[in-house]
Amino acid sequence: MQSARIPVIEGLVLALWLGAAAFFTLVVARAAFAVLPSRTLAGALVGRTLPVLFITGIVVGLAIVILEWATVREHWGRFAAACTMIAACAAAQLWVAPRIDRLREAIGGPLEALAPGDPQRAAFGRLHAISVGWLGVAIVAACVAMFLTWRALEAPRGSSRSSTLTEQTDG
């Protein structure tokens, strides 16, 4: 594969994932809690769709790592951003999500039925915040990777202009 195509492919997969992440966070989650008759149903919908976002985040990050592997010394920023994205999505999906699932099973009913000061409700709140935090880290890492990808796409044009200017001033 030509190295000039790598940033284009990376940009496309990052744009798709960032679009999905934005749609999920800005539309799906908010709409679920606004429209569905109970927070339990909304949580079930969000809980069912969120793993798709985390798993695709891992896949997108792995794709970028594979594409960048040969040129990691030159483009270490995109490589590092992709590794951060993988780590954040994996932590949320493989560490936080199972704990949330076990806690929901232990609660055995709707979360809102618990008293506000209940330790299980507080534990759920902490795990939810951690999950949201990991998603935020993944989104920021994807944005950094996207920015660096755009810069890589502009670099050949920018470097040829600067070399032309150098030739003109040297001549």
pLDDT score recorded for residue 72: 65
Dihedral over alpha carbons 8, 12, 15, 21 (to 10 degrees)? -140
Question: Of 74-78, 84-88, 135-139, where does mean pLDDT reach its minimum?
Answer: 74-78
pLDDT at 166: 40
Residue 65 forms part of a structural domain? yes
User: Which secondary structure element, helix H or strand E, spans residue 85, and what is its range?
Assistant: helix 76-90
> Could you give the CA distance from residue 147 to residue 79 in angstroms, rounded to a whole number?
13
Q: Does residue 18 carry a pLDDT above 60?
A: yes
Q: How confident is the model at residue 6 (pLDDT cuts 50, 70, 90)?
A: confident
In a domain, 107, yes or no: yes
Residue with the larger pLDDT of the pair 58 and 76: 58
On whether residue 170 sits in a domain, the answer given is no
Give pTM, 2 decimals. Answer: 0.85
Distance CA(67)–CA(90), nearest Å, equals 20
Total domain count for the chain? 1
Q: Which two tokens stand for residue 115?
A: 């008293």
Inside any domain, residue 72: yes
Interval 3-19 mean pLDDT: 89
Mean pLDDT of 145-164: 69
What pLDDT sits at residue 99?
97
Residue range 45-74: mean pLDDT, rounded: 90
Residue 171 resides in a domain: no
Please give the Cα distance from 170 to 140 (Å, whole number): 42
Considering the domain boundaries, does residue 159 fall inside one? no
- First vs last C-alpha separation in the chain: 37
User: Which one has a higher pLDDT value, 135 or 154?
Assistant: 135
Mean pLDDT of 63-83: 86
Domain coverage including residue 14: 6-154
Q: Which residues of 54-79 are buried (b: 16+ CB within 10 A; e: fewer)?
A: bebbbebbebbbebbeeeeeebebbb
Position of tokens 């039925």?
A: 113
- pLDDT, position 167: 41
